[in-house]
């Protein structure tokens, strides 16, 4: 029997660790309170208290505190943990996949106007200037792609006729 183990969902505050470290580098106070943790890591009051306990914070009266240097060290330790590294790589891959999908969708949205094959000649707006040189007239990127697509489709329908046309055997 195969047992599938899912990685547990990682906390959202992981995303805030790099910016929190930057902000703490210039933080003027020697301690950070619960409200500061909430702002730095974008967490709820309850989560801030849990993190303060996890990172070695302490309570002074009714206020939870952690030394600025202790918090920096705790966040640097978190950023070196396997779970954090895994989540960082996963989010990076997801971001790259989304960008690839966006580009693909944009490319698919391009509408190519393709004229019917005209028999034994090159598609309109194209001519052989001389052997090995093809000139293509176009007004837009979409028109250029449409004409090139027509050329490829023409070659795919009858490669022998296409090669004869290019060599000048056909008119």
Determine the average pLDDT of the residues in 23-48.
93
Q: What is the pLDDT of residue 68?
A: 93
pLDDT band for position 129 (50/70/90)? confident
Given a contact cutoff of 8 angstroms between Cβ atoms, the answer to whether 38 and 48 are in contact is yes
Residue-averaged pLDDT of the chain = 83
Determine the average pLDDT of the residues in 11-24.
88
Determine the average pLDDT of the residues in 42-71.
92
pLDDT score of 171 more than 70: no
Spell out the domain ranges in the chain. 12-104, 110-171
What is the third-level CATH fold of 12-104?
Arc Repressor Mutant, subunit A (1.10.10)
SS3 per-residue string spanning 85-142: HHHHHHHHHHHHHHHHHHHHHHHHCCCCCCCCCCCCCCCCCEEEEECCEEEECCCCHH
Q: What is the pLDDT of residue 169?
A: 55
């Amino acid at each position: 029997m195969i047992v599938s183990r899912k990685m547990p969902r990682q906390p959202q505050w992981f995303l805030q660790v790099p910016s929190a470290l930057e902000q703490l580098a210039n933080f003027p106070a020697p301690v950070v309170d619960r409200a500061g943790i909430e702002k730095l890591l974008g967490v709820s009051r309850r989560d801030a208290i849990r993190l303060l306990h996890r990172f070695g914070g302490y309570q002074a009266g009714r206020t939870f505190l952690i030394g600025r240097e202790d918090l920096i060290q705790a966040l640097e330790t978190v950023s070196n943990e396997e779970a954090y590294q895994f989540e960082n790589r996963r989010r990076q891959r997801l971001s790259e996949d989304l960008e690839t999908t966006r580009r693909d969708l944009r490319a698919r949205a391009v509408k190519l106007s393709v004229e019917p094959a005209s028999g034994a000649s090159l598609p309109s707006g194209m001519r052989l200037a001389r052997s090995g040189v093809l000139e293509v007239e176009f007004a837009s990127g979409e028109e250029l792609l449409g004409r090139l697509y027509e050329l490829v489709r023409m070659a795919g329908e009858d490669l022998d006729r296409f090669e004869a046309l290019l060599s000048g055997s056909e008119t």
